[in-house]
Amino acid sequence: MDEFLEQNRRSWDAAVEAHASHRRGLAAFLRGGGVALFPEERELLGELRGLRVAHLMCNAGGDTLSLVNLGARATGVDMSDRAIRLARSLSRRTGLRARFVRSEVCRWLAAVRGGEGFDVVFCSYGVVCWLEDLGLWARGVAGALAPGGRFVMVEFHPFSDMLDGGWRLRRPYPSGGERVTLEEGVGDYVGESGGGLAPGGFSPGVRGFANPHPCHLYRWGLGEVVGALAGAGLRVLALREYPYINGERKLPGMRELGGGRLGPPEGVPAIPLMYGVVARR
In this structure, what CATH number is given to the domain that contains residue 132? Answer: 3.40.50.150
CA–CA gap between residue 127 and residue 141 (Å, rounded):
13
| Under 8 Å between Cβ of 12 and 79 | yes
| Under 8 Å between Cβ of 100 and 64 | yes
Return the number of other C-beta atoms located less than 10 Å from residue 53's C-beta: 25
User: What pLDDT score does 115 carry?
Assistant: 82
User: What pLDDT score does 116 carry?
Assistant: 79
User: What pLDDT score does 146 carry?
Assistant: 97
Among 121, 93, 82, 94, CA closest to 105: 121
Cα dihedral 276, 79, 224, 222 sign:
positive
Among 63, 109, 68, CA closest to 86: 63
**Count of residues in the chain:** 281
Q: Considering its fold, how many domains does the chain have in total? A: 1
| Under 8 Å between Cβ of 55 and 77 | yes
User: What pLDDT score does 1 carry?
Assistant: 56
Residues of the chain where predicted confidence (pLDDT) is lower than 50: none
User: What pLDDT score does 141 carry?
Assistant: 98
Residue-number span of the structural domain to which 29 is assigned: 2-280
255 CB contacts (<8 Å, ≥6 apart)?
A: 262, 263, 264, 265, 266
